[in-house]
Structure 1
Amino acid sequence: MTKLPAPEPFTFTGDPLKFTEWRTCFKALIENNCTTPAHRLFYLKRYISGDALSVLEGTFYRSDEDAYTQAWDALNKRYGHPFVIQRAFRAKLSSWPKIGPRESLKLRELSDFLVSCKNAMPHVHGLGVLDDCEENQKLLQKLPDWVTTRWNRYVTKALDEEKPYPSFTEFSDFVAEEARIACNPVSSLHALKNADEKPGKEQKRLKASALAQNVKPITKSLSALEREKGSKPSHSATQDKKQIECVCCQQNHFIYKCERFAAMPLEEKKRFVINNKMCFGCLRIGHISKNCRKRATCNICRQSHPSPLHEECFQGGKLEASPDERASTSLCCVGMVNCNRTSMIVPVWVSCATKDSPETLVYALLDTQSRQLD
């Protein structure tokens, strides 16, 4: 006996159907072995949680016998009253879902609950209402049609013999017998159906579900491409839009519409794209511009680069370029790795070395065949 685990009651959370069982366990295992009210209140609080614990708020500030008695009076009125218990039984029966013609296991679950109702009827007097034929008719709507047909034969035979309508005890025994036959492990339809299922079919279902899971992210990327091209988003694309997260600011938009990324200087944008392993052709993660198949088109110069990476070389009639960029051969420097759009004619500001000399904008032709003189 010393090697067996110590018995203890389960925790009561406020279900009236479990209150009587929990009360019996607590009084047998805790109350009879504790002599002081303080210990009893301690264990009472330990084995109560949820809504039941809120009933005893304020009781545990004391540790006398009156506090312990007051706690049990509150619990008995809230969960142990026969009317409360029979209402809980009937509410669970009325909310029981309809059982299909081939759902043998669910029929057995209902049968087990009907047997528990039958066993509680002698102790909960309000459950005697289940003997009424109107209540029995409500329960028949939960059963499969083939069970209802067999019960109809049973009732009709009893009425033809001038017997009273069968009681709830007879009904629960009848359903229990039908559930036992329907769940026979060898010859029932449920057993034959499980025997026909082969492991190969189950594996095929698992593969199909795995493929369906792999298709989901691909659909999400295609929806993103449709939005980028300006096409009208579909219903699935609208749902995926909520899951978009900007790489720069972690907001719900693409990086094309990110104001923080647009406000960065060009060099800082280039470093950001490189550090986040993004493509210079479409600003997506996972490939480089050399392998990009969906290059974006600039909305400003209509060249093959994303609009946030566009750099204006002219603004207000003046050349907006740094001294190091004046010799660049590209009129639109987008910072792409394999940019092949260049020009041999570049604008140059010409002025004298004297002070306050006016500047003149001219176009210079670059000669790539020239060589440096000694």
Structure 2
Amino acid sequence: MATAMLLPQPKVPKFKGDPTEYGAFIMSFDARIVPHTSSSKDRLYYLEQQLEGEPKDLIAGCLYMDQEEGYTKARDLLSSEYGDPYKVSTVYVNQVLSWPQIKHDDCHGLKQFSHFLIKCFHAMKTMSHMTVLNHSVNLQAVALKLPVHLQNKWRDHVTREQLHSNRTVDFEDLVHFIEFASRSANEPVFGKEAISKSQVHWGSKQGKSLKKDGAKSSSFVTGVDSSNHKQDKYRSVSCYFCRVPHDIESCKQFGQKSLSERRTYLQEKKMCFGCFGFNHMVKGCMKKRSCKKCGKCHPTILHDENFRSASKNVDQKSSEACDSLVSPDQEKSVSSSCNNIDPVISDTVLQAILPVLIQQKGSDKLVKIYALLDNGSTGCFITEDLRQRLETTSTESSLKLRTMHRLHVVSTHVVEGLVVSDLSGDNSVMLPRTFTRDTGDT
């Protein structure tokens, strides 16, 4: 008895009309309210107090009835409206089929989807109407919610089951598969987010070490940008912080954060401190915003009133060349800059070359190639031969190239929706708009 008195008192959640929550609400009401009330009048009163919105309006008339009859009628009305197995099953199925597609790097979204599917699987054991999720059409719809690399793994799993066990997979198999994929992606030590944070941590330490040692290097940057932003339908118009259609620099919620909290948010989301873009750092950013307060190259929302430059005369040497994409509708520009610093250790510049798998989204054509990675580049190019091997859909255009030797115009194809992954099919990355180049274009 003494131990029970020390435990926190469980609360009865208020019911707002979600059929999937009705069973838990009635169970808690019968466990916490009914045993401690002696009359139907008290139970009807507490029942009415625990309802909100539509359910509360549904039983409003029962308050004017005889207390015994009123309480019984109120329970019957709620059970008929929100406890019907067919209605509950329909809500579960509709929520599964309307779930948004999960992005390849959204580990948290994959975990939420897995938890909801597990909830549906347990509900299926008591509601026979939910067996429609075992139908092949619904299984296919659920699988399409997964990232491309998990769709490929699920297809391989289904094939193995058919060949080795000679059986057809069902909803339970898909739930267990997604649960395992979620646990793997969110593994606290070796998961994607854990490794990513570790790389940022060690990368920042390595960068500080190089600055202390005075190491020097050469960097080459190539960028692709558009002079007509209004016609660029692939550019996002939503704020990354609050998901409302406005620029993040105009976001009131983001502006209310302290300067250190804003910087921490950008660092966690791997966003550039110069333009709020992705996949590059502010050091190599070609689209830095101008501050409206001091006129320097940083966003106004990141302006630091207490900052004082240690040196007012900083010698910045850079050379920029512009490449433009000639099109009847809009002009594209390809800009290139090169910062040359005498190397200390070696005259050789090494670039990262990795073997990868590449395919166009929605296509089964998969090609193994070698990719040259340039951390300072915002442009993406493939050879014309690779485009033909992938049998991609593309748009013809022209590309004006300015190199150290000459200025000339070449034909190109603009390819959208290319996806690269490692040789095992994991760690997929969606490439931005990609241009084709012949191997002879220099």
| Structure 2 length-normalised TM | 0.46
Change (3 A) 1:94 1:35: same
Deviation at 1:34, TM superposition (A): 1.6
Q: Is the 8 A contact 2:97 2:138 kept in 1?
A: no
Q: Deviations over 1:296-320 (max 9, x none)?
A: xxxxxxxxxxxxxxxxxxxxxxxxx
Change (3 A) 1:67 1:203: closer
Aligned mate of 2:20, from 17, 20, 27: 17
Return the letter of the residue paired with 1:159.
Q
Aligned residue in 2 for 1:175: 178
What is the CA–CA distance in structure 2 between the aligned matches of 1:108 and 1:162, rounded to whole Å? 29
Aligned residue in 2 for 1:90: 93
Deviation at 1:104, TM superposition (A): 1.0
What is the CA–CA distance in structure 2 between the aligned matches of 1:191 and 1:58, rounded to whole Å? 55
Q: Deviations over 1:124-168 (max 9, x none)?
A: 111111111111000011001111111111101111236232121
Deviation at 1:197, TM superposition (A): 3.5
1:121 is aligned to 2:124: yes
What is the CA–CA distance in structure 2 between the aligned matches of 1:74 and 1:169, rounded to whole Å? 33
Aligned residue in 2 for 1:60: 63
Return the letter of the residue paired with 2:64.
Y
Change (3 A) 1:20 1:190: same
Q: Deviations over 1:259-283 (max 9, x none)?
A: xxxxxxxxxxxxxxxxxxxxxxxxx
What is the CA–CA distance in structure 2 between the aligned matches of 1:166 and 1:186, rounded to whole Å? 32
Return the letter of the residue paired with 1:202.
R
Q: Is the 8 A contact 1:37 1:63 kept in 2?
A: no
1:134 is aligned to 2:170: no
Q: Is the 8 A contact 1:9 1:25 kept in 2?
A: yes
Aligned mate of 1:38, from 33, 38, 41: 41
1:202 is aligned to 2:202: no
For 1:58, what is the secondary structure of its paired residue? helix
Q: Residues 234-313 of structure 1 correspond to what in structure 2 (within 5 A)?
A: none
Deviation at 1:205, TM superposition (A): 4.5
Which is worse superposed, 41-50 or 192-201?
192-201
Q: Is the 8 A contact 1:41 1:63 kept in 2?
A: no
Return the letter of the residue paired with 2:159.
T
Aligned residue in 2 for 1:287: none
Deviation at 1:32, TM superposition (A): 2.6
Aligned residue in 1 for 2:83: 80
What is the CA–CA distance in structure 2 between the aligned matches of 1:196 and 1:62, rounded to whole Å? 67
What is the CA–CA distance in structure 2 between the aligned matches of 1:214 and 1:202, rounded to whole Å? 8
1:212 is aligned to 2:300: yes
Deviation at 1:171, TM superposition (A): 1.1
What is the CA–CA distance in structure 2 between the aligned matches of 1:6 and 1:194, rounded to whole Å? 40
Q: Is the 8 A contact 2:20 2:92 kept in 1?
A: yes
Structure 2 residue runs of 5 or longer lacking an equivalent are 205-259, 268-272, 277-290, 292-298, 304-442
What is the CA–CA distance in structure 2 between the aligned matches of 1:204 and 1:20, rounded to whole Å? 39
Deviation at 1:196, TM superposition (A): 3.0
Deviation at 1:213, TM superposition (A): 4.5
1:110 is aligned to 2:171: no
Q: Is the 8 A contact 2:124 2:130 kept in 1?
A: yes
What is the CA–CA distance in structure 2 between the aligned matches of 1:121 and 1:27, rounded to whole Å? 23
Deviation at 1:212, TM superposition (A): 3.5
Q: Deviations over 1:84-106 (max 9, x none)?
A: 10111011112211101111111
What is the CA–CA distance in structure 2 between the aligned matches of 1:20 and 1:176, rounded to whole Å? 24
What is the CA–CA distance in structure 1 between the aligned matches of 2:50 and 2:265, rounded to whole Å? 47
Larger Cα Rg: Structure 1 or Structure 2?
Answer: 1
Which is bigger in relative contact order (C-alpha 8 A, separation at least 6)? 2
What is the CA–CA distance in structure 2 between the aligned matches of 1:185 and 1:84, rounded to whole Å? 38
For 2:102, what is the secondary structure of its paired residue? coil
What is the CA–CA distance in structure 2 between the aligned matches of 1:60 and 1:194, rounded to whole Å? 58
CA RMSD of aligned residues (A): 2.5
Q: Deviations over 1:297-350 (max 9, x none)?
A: xxxxxxxxxxxxxxxxxxxxxxxxxxxxxxxxxxxxxxxxxxxxxxxxxxxxxx
Specify which structure has the higher proportion of strand.
2
Q: Deviations over 1:46-103 (max 9, x none)?
A: 1111221111121112351111111011101111000110111011112211101111
Q: Residues 324-335 of structure 1 correspond to what in structure 2 (within 5 A)?
A: none
Change (3 A) 1:193 1:42: same
Deviation at 1:115, TM superposition (A): 0.5
1:100 is aligned to 2:188: no
User: How many percent identity over aligned positions?
Assistant: 25
Aligned residue in 1 for 2:319: none
Change (3 A) 1:203 1:71: closer
Change (3 A) 1:102 1:16: same
Aligned residues: 215
Q: Deviations over 1:9-65 (max 9, x none)?
A: 111111111000111111111123222011001110111112211111211123511
What is the CA–CA distance in structure 2 between the aligned matches of 1:153 and 1:204, rounded to whole Å? 38
Specify which structure has the higher proportion of helix.
1
Q: Deviations over 1:185-238 (max 9, x none)?
A: 1112221112234599935949879953599xxxxxxxxxxxxxxxxxxxxxxx
